[in-house]
């Protein structure tokens, strides 16, 4: 890929595009919003597959269990949305090192699909969990880094004090593989950037509940999760993953601002290494919260 094409692929795409979504859908409540938002934007976004990503927290007993639960959650969301899409199980563990892929149905499918695209007509990979499946596909098939654009919700802002964000810290090796591969890469950092995209209980109740089965499920699921830890206090809930899908729809910066900068890999001590100005990436640095939330409401309730 030429440098000119690489830079071009870091811009918001024009026209209708093909997408795969890599998601740890059972991890928390925001992946479900992102899946619904993606499926509802059919005019521009053609979803060709969804991949279940591993995760390990209080909602799973290990990465494999997290992946399996995410697979089931994806299927449930597709049913609620009255959609049928190919869904593939992903990695059951994180990368053992930066050279060894975790072979899975998801990684193999991405590797195969990438061969059918080109730098001029790339496949867009939206990743909203640990990026193990995408890294594995790159290690399996070099065409992935030439023929795709990776949009990842992961890490924290460059100005933040560490990189110990959930998606990134679970599999630092995978993050380093993807970010260091030369694939056109878009980062939506969590704390300090996407953390602005929050929603309140009152907004969820007013705009989503009883509108349709999908919107109702999303709102009630979010309220239930937030009130499990709010204990009667006021709260807002960040719905992080929507922003990764929204970048693909960000014509004329209507939802967010980004800039082209040098890539900085995360190290294993929860810091970013020095910026490599020879390898460019797209870095989102500001979210227009109200504009994006209003669009999300309109799309999900249409």
Structural domain boundaries of the chain? 3-197+239-300
Q: What pLDDT is recorded for position 277?
A: 86
Q: What pLDDT is recorded for position 117?
A: 98
Give the helix ranges, DSSP H, for the chain: 3-8, 30-40, 63-80, 105-114, 132-140, 143-147, 166-170, 172-180, 201-207, 213-230, 242-247, 289-300
Q: At what angle do helices 213-230 and 30-40 cross, to 10 degrees?
A: 160
pLDDT-flagged residues of the chain (< 70): none
Q: What pLDDT is recorded for position 232?
A: 86
Q: What pLDDT is recorded for position 121?
A: 97
**Contact assessment for residue 131 and residue 22, using Cβ atoms and an 8 Å cutoff:** yes
Q: In angstroms, how far is the first alpha carbon of the chain from the final one?
A: 39
pTM, rounded to two decimals: 0.97
Q: How far apart are CA 136 and CA 111, in angstroms?
A: 9
- Residue found under tokens 């993953």: 241
Second-level CATH architecture of 3-197+239-300? Alpha-Beta Complex (3.90)
* 129-131-134 Cα angle (round to 5): 130
Q: Give me 140's structure tokens.
A: 């399996």
């Amino acid at each position: 890929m030429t440098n000119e094409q690489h830079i071009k692929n870091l811009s918001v795409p024009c026209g209708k595009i093909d997408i795969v979504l890599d998601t740890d859908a059972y991890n928390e409540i925001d992946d479900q919003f992102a899946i619904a938002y993606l499926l509802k934007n059919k005019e521009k976004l053609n979803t060709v597959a969804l991949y279940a990503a591993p995760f390990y927290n209080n909602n799973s007993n290990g990465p494999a269990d997290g992946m399996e639960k995410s697979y089931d959650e994806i299927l449930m969301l597709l049913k609620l949305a009255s959609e049928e899409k190919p869904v593939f199980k992903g990695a059951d563990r994180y990368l053992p090192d930066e050279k060894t892929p975790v072979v899975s149905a998801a990684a193999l499918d991405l590797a195969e699909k990438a061969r059918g695209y080109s730098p001029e007509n790339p496949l867009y990979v939206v990743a909203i969990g640990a990026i193990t499946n995408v890294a594995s596909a790159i290690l399996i098939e070099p065409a992935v880094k030439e023929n795709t654009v990776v949009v990842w919700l992961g890490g924290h802002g460059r100005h933040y004090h560490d990189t110990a964000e959930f998606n990134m810290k679970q599999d630092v090796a995978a993050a380093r593989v993807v970010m260091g591969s030369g694939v056109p890469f878009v980062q939506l950092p969590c704390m300090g950037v996407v953390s602005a995209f929050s929603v309140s209980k009152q907004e969820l109740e007013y705009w989503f509940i009883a509108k349709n089965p999908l919107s109702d499920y999303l709102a009630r699921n979010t309220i239930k999760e937030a009130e499990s830890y709010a204990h009667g206090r006021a709260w807002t809930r960040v719905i992080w993953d929507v922003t990764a899908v929204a970048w693909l729809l960000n014509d004329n910066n209507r939802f967010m601002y980004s800039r082209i900068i040098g890539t900085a890999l995360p190290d294993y001590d929860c810091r970013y290494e020095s910026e490599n100005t020879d390898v460019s990436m797209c870095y989102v640095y500001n979210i227009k919260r109200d504009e994006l939330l209003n669009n999300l409401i309109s799309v999900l309730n249409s």
